[in-house]
Amino acid sequence: MRKKTILIHSNYCKAFTGFGKNKKNILKYLYKTGKYNVVEAANMKRVSDTSTEKLPWDCYGTVPDNYESLPEEQKRPAGYGSTEIDRIVEEVRPDVYIGVEDIWAFTDYNKKPWWNKVNSMVWTTLDSLPILPQALEYAPKIKHYYVWSSFAEKAFKESGYEHIKTLRGSLDTDSFYKLDDQARTKLRDFHGVNQDDFIVGFVFRNQLRKSVPNLLDGFKLFKKDKPHAKLLLHTHWSEGWDIMRLLEEKNIQNTDILTTYFCSSCGAYHVKSFTHEKEKCRECGQNTSNTTNVSHGVSEDQLNQVYNLMDVYCHPFTSGGQEIPVQEAKLTELITLVTDYSCGEDSCSEESGGLPLSWHEYREPGTQFIKASTDADSINQMLQTVYDMPEKERIEMGEKSKKWVIDNFSIDVIGKKLESIIDDMPFLDENVDIKNIHYNDLYEMPTGLSNEEFIIDLYKNILNDDVDKKDKGFNVWYSKMMYGQVDQNSLYHHFINVAKKENLKKPKAFEDVLSKDDQGKRIAIIIPQSATDVLMINSFVSNIKKKHNGCNVYVFTKPEYFDYIEDNPCVFKCLQYTPALDNPLSLEGFGDHEGFFEAAYYPATTTQKVPCYIHNGK
């Protein structure tokens, strides 16, 4: 029985990123079902990187080997597979393509020749209001459109899109759990953390959208009368926020801030106050111990231990797609404090066992997105709430948090949902052409449609583009029709001409431009120019067609002369003339060469130049 081939395109499955973790979980789940041929397209990996060969499934690096030599404006999309994905899709011919990145990583993918011929699914994170214009523009173009939070799904619904659903990022719920009291005591002793210290934790990549200054302000307020309070920042101190500078500005003692060092030589980790990068590892003695980062970071087991050093987890941010560390912290039965905006709305709800952090709105320059500035007083108040909470209540909230994550984010839960989505998709037709886009310049003008329906119909059936009433192109043409600048007839011919020009731009094998239905029952007329000659050809096309028992008649001329003959009812199709057509024998066939046409007429030349009277002996 044929297995569906599933191509999953995202961060490399072994990357220490949210996308990377989710991809690893999903690949392993689908692979273990035995139902699918699973293939990985790995962002962050070079095409020639042989380390991808060690995986149990086929894996293609998507970063071109000449990445450094690319122009700067091409590097970002190339880093996410824009230059390599067509080649990978053509080689793999997947039944299902699943792209899992931020929406901008799929810019112009809807214009690719394989898009929606292969079942194409985008599973993306959207984190701010108003919804990114590109995400809205793509809504009618992506048949299988999934987001990571109910916040994004709700925003799409308010914009009129009902087909966009929430599919949360998956978590390995077995990797994160609460250690018993004895193990936690030993863990603190190992890292030199006092048993009575109250540890506030934050696990994050040091990006500017993670609200480190706000957290420091809130922590400073909280610590005023709590000398044993500590803040654990599990992050890389050499990117993003200059944390040391912030500590100096806010007059916070470095000894009150802990962080995680990881040794790239021996794999050991150590939680302590920050000093500098490239510290001497206390296990192997090498100067290869740095704050944890996406290239060299702690294992899942080690990260679970880091969470278990904490007493409460606090995650202030401006916006986010899911924020996987929040769910990981919940699995270790920590009470989580999360900014009540974007995906945080899910994680600070009562049912999730979390507590909300209030925020103030600000606008991101340029995009004008609504962003959240988490209130420092709210951070202080919520830390105080957890600090004063009776142990029994804290345990009950922690257990509730864990159950919520298992029920909504576990690999089995998300895997089964994805499995159902894939199983509902059809197999790729083995005969479908996924290398070329065909714009339908033979599409007959539709009738009986309103202007709105007419424009959408032309985009879909002539230009292979799914648009709706929110599309910029739609609104331009609708406005012109409203003001009488174009009518349906003129707009139809404009779209047909655009399709013809686009088809001429694309190099194709000669047989690919011919109809598959006429099975060689074709006649060719080669008439390169001029307007008078092409116009005169009209007079005997019908006789040629009759002579050859109704074969389809193809006229080869320069595109600027199409208008002189293409409306002749006896002409099946006009195609662009090229000098290669000056030898009719190559079209009719000779010897062992099978021709494309029953006869090829070249009335614009002499028989001395071209033997244009052979016609296969007919």
For domain 4-170+415-423, the question of CATH label 3.40.50.11930 is answered with: yes
Ranked by mean pLDDT, the top range of 33-37, 129-133, 607-611 is 33-37
- Asked whether the predicted pLDDT for residue 258 surpasses 90, the reply is yes
List the single range of 129-138, 384-393, 489-498 with lowest mean pLDDT.
129-138
Q: Give the Cα separation of 132 and 130 in Å (integer).
A: 6
Q: What is the mean pLDDT of residues 44-73?
A: 94
Which amino acid type is present at position 241?
A: W
* pLDDT, tens digit (0-9, with 9 covering 90-100), for 552-589: 999 999 888 888 898 899 999 888 888 778 777 778 87
* pLDDT, tens digit (0-9, with 9 covering 90-100), for 106-125: 999 999 999 999 999 999 99
Helix/strand/coil for 547: helix
The whole-chain average pLDDT of the chain stands at: 92
- Asked whether the predicted pLDDT for residue 607 surpasses 80, the reply is no
- Asked whether the predicted pLDDT for residue 298 surpasses 70, the reply is yes
- Asked whether the predicted pLDDT for residue 609 surpasses 60, the reply is no
Percent of the chain with pLDDT strictly greater than 90: 78
Query: Which pLDDT score is estimated for 82?
Result: 94
CATH (one of 3.30.450.150, 3.40.50.300, 3.40.50.2000, 3.30.505.50) for 181-404: 3.40.50.2000
Query: Which pLDDT score is estimated for 420?
Result: 98
Q: What is the mean pLDDT of residues 292-301?
A: 91
Q: Give the Cα separation of 252 and 200 in Å (integer).
A: 15
Query: Which pLDDT score is estimated for 549?
Result: 85
Closest CA to 7 of 52, 55, 53, 40: 40
Query: Which pLDDT score is estimated for 376?
Result: 98
Ranked by mean pLDDT, the top range of 251-265, 425-439, 489-503 is 251-265
- Asked whether the predicted pLDDT for residue 185 surpasses 90, the reply is yes
Query: Which pLDDT score is estimated for 263?
Result: 97
List the single range of 281-285, 514-518, 522-526 with lowest mean pLDDT.
514-518
The alpha carbons of the chain give a radius of gyration, in whole angstroms, of 32
List the single range of 97-101, 128-132, 173-177, 379-383 with lowest mean pLDDT.
128-132
Q: What is the mean pLDDT of residues 204-232?
A: 97
Instruction: Find where tokens 């000779």 sit.
Output: 590
Does an H or E element contain 312, and which?
strand 312-315
- Asked whether the predicted pLDDT for residue 374 surpasses 90, the reply is yes
Q: What is the mean pLDDT of residues 327-331?
A: 97
The pairing of strands 257-263 and 289-291 is antiparallel
- Asked whether the predicted pLDDT for residue 259 surpasses 90, the reply is yes
Query: Which pLDDT score is estimated for 98?
Result: 98
Which amino acid type is present at position 592?
A: D
Q: What is the mean pLDDT of residues 244-268?
A: 97
Query: Which pLDDT score is estimated for 618?
Result: 63
Percent of the chain with pLDDT strictly greater than 70: 95
* pLDDT, tens digit (0-9, with 9 covering 90-100), for 426-468: 999 998 999 888 899 999 999 999 999 999 999 999 999 999 9
- Asked whether the predicted pLDDT for residue 590 surpasses 70, the reply is no
* pLDDT, tens digit (0-9, with 9 covering 90-100), for 151-162: 999 999 999 999
What value, to the nearest 5°, has the Cα angle with vertex 577 and ends 572 and 583?
100
Report the chain's terminal Cα–Cα distance, integer Å. Answer: 49
- Asked whether the predicted pLDDT for residue 385 surpasses 90, the reply is yes
- Asked whether the predicted pLDDT for residue 608 surpasses 70, the reply is no
What value, to the nearest 5°, has the Cα angle with vertex 83 and ends 81 and 86?
85
**Helices marked H in 348-471:** 376-388, 391-409, 411-423, 451-463
Which has more pLDDT, 190 or 367?
Answer: 190
CA torsion through residues 321, 322, 324, 325, sign: positive
Q: What is the mean pLDDT of residues 220-226?
A: 97
Specify which residues 203 forms β-bridges with.
234
Give 519's pLDDT tier (boundaries 50, 70, 90). Answer: low
Does an H or E element contain 589, and which?
strand 589-590
Query: Which pLDDT score is estimated for 6?
Result: 98
* pLDDT, tens digit (0-9, with 9 covering 90-100), for 521-561: 889 999 988 888 898 888 889 898 888 888 899 999 988 88
Query: Which pLDDT score is estimated for 109?
Result: 95
Q: How many helices (H) and strands (E) does the chain have?
A: 19, 23
Q: What is the mean pLDDT of residues 163-186?
A: 96
